[in-house]
Structures are given as C-alpha cells and as structure tokens.
Amino acid sequence: MADGWVLHVDLDQFFASVEVLRHPELRGRPVIVGGSGDPAQPRTVVATASREAREFGVRSGMPMRMAARKCPEAAFLPTDMPAYQQASAQVMATLRAFPVRLEVHGLDEAFLGGDIDDPQRLAADLKAAVLDQTGLTCAVGIGRNKNQAKIAARFAKQDPTGIATLTDETWMPAMGTRPVGDLWGVGPKTVPKLDALGLPTIADLAAADPDTLLQRFPPRAAMWLSIIARGGGDTEIVTEPWVAKSRSKEVTFATDLTDRADIEHQVTVLARQLGTEVVAAGRRVIRVAVKVRSSSFYTQTRETKLRDGPSTDLDVIAQAALEVLAKIELKRPVRLLGVRADLSPDESP
C-alpha cells in the first residue's frame, strides 16, 4: 500500500534547541525558556525546558519561580518568537524539498503524506536533512492516519532512533491500557466525563456503546471519541498555507487590578495593539471577545459581533472590547486580561 502512510515530524524541545544553537556554550546545560527570562518575575511560566532541565522535573506551563527552585543552575532565557519563527521556516523549507505533501501544523510540527513506499527510510532521511540543514533534531511518527502518526511521534521521542510506527494492528496493543487522556485532543475537561461513564482507558472507550457516549457528549463529539480511541483519524494532508481564524493578546499582571478604570484602560490597550497587528497582516475583525481571570482563577469570557460588519478601525475594535467588558462582573481583583479578535476569512482589508 504505497499511498497509505502519514508521517508526523515533531521538533525536539524546539525553543530551547533554537537557543542552544544561538548560544553553543549552553549545550549540555539545563535551559529554560519563558517570559522575560527572569525567574523572579511573578506570574510567568515555562514555555520550553530542555531535556537536561526536564530531568529536574521542570515542565512547560510550570511557573518560572517553581522551575528556578527545582533547577536553580539552569540558564533562564526570554522567549524570542521571531527567532523561533525563522527557525521553523527553515525546517519547513527543508521538508518541502521532499517529494511528499506537507501540512504545517505549528512552529514545531508538520504532517507529511503521499506516495510513500518506505516510510522508515523517508523518516530517517527527513531527520538527517533537518539536522544537516538547520542543526535541529526531530522525532518522526509513522501511521496510517494523522492520529496514529501524532501518537507515534511521542513514542519516537523515547526511541533511540527517534522514529516509531503505529498501525491499525499495533494500535490497541500499544494504546489500549493507557488512560483516555493520552489520546490526541482529549483534554482535562473530557477525561472526567469519560471516567464518570466508566471509560478510564482507551480500550474501554473504543469498546463503548455509542448510546453510552451520548449520555455526556453531543453526537459529533461522541463519534469522534469513538474513532480516535480505535486508532482512526484523518488522512488528508492540507497543503494550503494555514490562515489564522483569530488572533489574541493577553497579559497577566504582577499585581492584581482592582480599579475599574485601570481594567478598562488595559483592555483598550490590548484591543488597539491587537487591532494594529490584524491590520498589518491585511485582515479584518468581525468579532471581539474579552477574557477576565480573577485572583481566584475564576475565568469569564464574553464576545460580540461588530455591528457594522468587518472592520480595521482601531476605535471600533477597542469600543467593542469595552462593550464586552461591561457584560462581565468585576467583583474580584483581576489577575489576567485577554482580548481575542475573530477575523474575516478574506485577507484584504
């Protein structure tokens, strides 16, 4: 079956690896990337930890202060998104040189598919080319669909070759006893619902009667859960450039905000900054959402559609954000504010 394989390329500890390339003296040392790079700055989190830092228990999403306690000798570096975007572009250009279809799935991930006779050989060639052209390492998962390939890439990170394969035949022996949270796309809100249905493992979910899933999930979600638990998934490789459907900006404050005027000012600043980026990208805003997270971590999100249609007017965007904010109760100190702009599908203002 020549045209039946999907490969998933996953760059290893991407941000940290890019930083080590830029700073060779850090090779072999624990490297932690996040925020401004200052672990003393409150309310910042780890974006990426190198393998050496992970050995100390440091993980992505961990507060930087906690990371500093776990690994005080680490090199702490600020997030430098332009550098990571440039490195990602070099990797994707390397992958595009191969005679397969490429679907970029983020800065550090991509799916490949096509007329692939020898997926193991292709995976080895991909790894070698990425290393040679960019200096970065990657894991490659091989499967009959995106779901299998994505999960296989996780196994590849633990394999000395950096390559692993999952197929219809090997899926259940490898995945059946694992918790449902190990499935791609099954998050912390879904796991308790499945547990409540008596479906804690992937094998349990795969064998579940559809009516059981419909007790907690709408039909489309229930069908999707059943498919991925059995190792099924999408096989289409979308080669068209990815176009963002939305953009967002948010800020976590070092000191909670309590004054409504300060909160409104910060929302206005975020909305105008976001609008400036949208206009610079040649897009238009059709809907604005505001997120407010209190000091107790209670989070509220509201949104509104622009009354007069898609717009690039910063005043209109900011005013819409303030109107949304007015719908949110502000009874507690505010820890975080965010603004999201949903974008018109056309790319010309």
pLDDT in tens, 214-264: 999 999 999 999 999 999 999 999 887 767 789 999 999 989 999 999 999
Helix (H, G, I), strand (E, B) or coil at 80: coil
The Cα 65–Cα 39 span in angstroms is 5
| Helix and strand numbers, DSSP H then E, in the chain | 13, 12
Residues 156-186 have pLDDT tens digits of 999 999 999 999 999 999 999 999 999 999 9
Q: Under CATH, to which class is 246-343 assigned? A: alpha beta
Q: CA 321, CA 306: separation in Å to the nearest integer?
A: 10
For residues 17 and 26, the answer to whether their CB atoms sit within 8 Å is no
pLDDT of residue 243: 72
pLDDT of residue 348: 44
- Mean pLDDT within 311-325: 96
Q: State residue 347's pLDDT score.
A: 53
Max Cα separation, the chain?
A: 65
Alpha helices in the chain (DSSP H): 14-22, 51-54, 64-70, 81-96, 119-134, 146-156, 168-175, 190-196, 202-207, 210-213, 219-229, 260-280, 314-325
Cα 165 to Cα 156: distance, rounded to the nearest angstrom: 8
Q: How many Cβ atoms sit within 10 Å of the Cβ of residue 169?
A: 9
Q: What is the pLDDT of residues 263-299, one digit of tens each?
A: 999 999 999 999 999 998 899 999 999 999 999 989 9
Q: Is 347 a catalytic residue?
A: no
Mean pLDDT of 25-40: 95
Q: Give the pLDDT of residue 346.
A: 63
Domain range list for the chain:
5-14+82-166, 21-79, 172-229, 246-343
User: Tokens in use for 104?
Assistant: 């970029």
Question: What's the CATH number for 5-14+82-166?
Answer: 3.30.70.270
Whether the pLDDT of residue 349 is over 60: the answer is no
pLDDT at 345: 79
Q: Which of 52, 73, 109, 329 is catalytic?
A: 109
> What would the CATH number be for the domain defined by 21-79?
3.40.1170.60
Asked whether 236 and 111 are in contact (CB, 8 A), the reply is no
Looking at the chain, the whole-number percentage of residues with pLDDT higher than 90 is 89
Region 131-139: mean pLDDT is: 97
Distance (Å, whole) CA 113 – CA 100: 6
Contact 143, 149 (CB under 8 A): yes
- Quote the pLDDT of residue 242: 66
Q: What is the pLDDT of residue 155?
A: 98
Tokens in use for 95? 């992958």
When pLDDT is averaged across residues 311-320 and rounded to a whole number, the result is 96
Where does 172-229 sit in CATH, by number? 1.10.150.20
